[in-house]
Structure 1
Amino acid sequence: MGFLSVLSQAQRWVKERAESGDIVVDATAGNGSDTLFLSRAVGPQGLVYAFDVQAEALASTERRLSAEAEPSSLSPVKLVLAGHETMGDVIPTDKHGRIAAAMFNLGYLPGASSPLITKPETTLAALDTALKLLRSGGILTVVVYPGHEGGLEEADAVTAWAAEVPQNVAQAVLYRFPQKAASPNLIALNKK
């Protein structure tokens, strides 16, 4: 039996920390996989904020949620057509410091009509904000893709950012497969 993929490991760590009724964030909705996972994890009493800059990503996410076999088991989801760097402004201040988990799946939208990729400038701003929004014990997961154009720069920037987070603020971990240099990496932070 092999190790979990970076995506599965991210979900495993989130599932260990997010509970029914929690507030969570999918910072990069994409095709909705993490949004659906988070909505199931926090259940009908919870709340998911899902951000994306592409309307087609949010439409795909909405279709995925609508196709769920047991919709009554899902939380409400607020789909936000905006960059993840705006989450501090979009999420009401009374929810700041109460977020259980924030998931980032960087790179680009598979199958998208336009070749948009996430950028280090907005990603780092979003990571700073997400860390502030987390509650004590909350988790932030970031899957980076060094194998596509612009991906290595962003992966390096996120890794450097995580390394600079003070240990009294959060514990950081890097989960990757070193035999495949261009494979996705998972960076996760557990807020103290």
Structure 2
Amino acid sequence: MRKLLPVIQFAHLLAASKLQSGGNAIDATAGNGNDTLFLINHLSKNSKLYIFDIQEDAIRQTKQRLHEHLTQADFNKLNQRLFFYCAGHQDMDMYVKEQVKVIMFNLGYLPGSQSKIITKPYTTLNALKKGLKLLLPNGLVSIILYPGHDGGQEEADLVTDYVSRLNTYEFGVIQYNNINKEKAPYLIAIEKKR
């Protein structure tokens, strides 16, 4: 019998299914590079990946993770299609000028760093709104929320409230969470219908 998937693995499963047919992607919160590496492994031959984080340490750690998991030749091939921005995800539309198939958010703070530097409710909400405009029809936005840290519940509530009011003719929205564990991280996935 197969176990239930943790939220991050379920987000990856959904994103992988969308990227099978190709398309560009955005990692809106690079962190330690886990989602970036996942997205690279699922990009089609000519697709681009845009990577954002407000912290230089996160961009550096993400690049380090790629160097650890990719050969130099593979990294050099990908380098023309990877775009790193030390910028807030709320500014993604300033850098990304084409539509994308997948956008991944993994909110909260950079693991192993000061937990005082966190994603903020209103910049996350602005990033989500801009991301939905950049998203292709049949594209996916995944958002992993962490209500258990300081500021996390406010961000989770704001995002959840916003997505619960999206037009059902334009977007499908699901929530995947552990309901018998208080303050557990959870996933919201949004599919653009048209």
TM-score after normalising by structure 2: 0.92
Change (3 A) 1:61 1:157: same
Q: Residue 85 of structure 2 aligns with which residue?
A: 80
Residues of 2 paired with 1:129 and 1:118: CA distance?
Answer: 16
Q: Residue 62 of structure 2 aligns with which residue?
A: 61
Residues of 2 paired with 1:37 and 1:162: CA distance?
Answer: 25
Is the 8 Å Cα contact of residues 103 and 142 (structure 1) preserved in structure 2? yes
TM-fit CA distance, 1:77 = 1.6
TM-fit CA distance, 1:47 = 1.0
- Deviations, residues 84-114 of structure 1 (Å, cap 9, x unaligned): 000011112xx1xx20000000000011256
Provide the secondary structure at the position in 2 that maps to 1:85: helix
Provide the secondary structure at the position in 2 that maps to 1:78: strand
TM-fit CA distance, 1:178 = 0.1
Residues of 1 paired with 2:6 and 2:69: CA distance?
Answer: 23
- Deviations, residues 2-27 of structure 1 (Å, cap 9, x unaligned): 21000000000000001365210000
Paired-residue identity, %: 39
Is the 8 Å Cα contact of residues 145 and 184 (structure 1) preserved in structure 2? yes
1:47 aligned onto 2:48 = yes
- Deviations, residues 88-144 of structure 1 (Å, cap 9, x unaligned): 11112xx1xx20000000000011256200011100000000011000000000000
Structure 1 gaps of 5+ residues are none
The one-letter code matched in structure 2 to 1:35 is: T
TM-fit CA distance, 1:179 = 0.4
TM-score after normalising by structure 1: 0.93
Deviates more, 1:50-59 or 1:160-169: 160-169
Provide the secondary structure at the position in 1 that maps to 2:130: helix
The one-letter code matched in structure 2 to 1:39 is: I
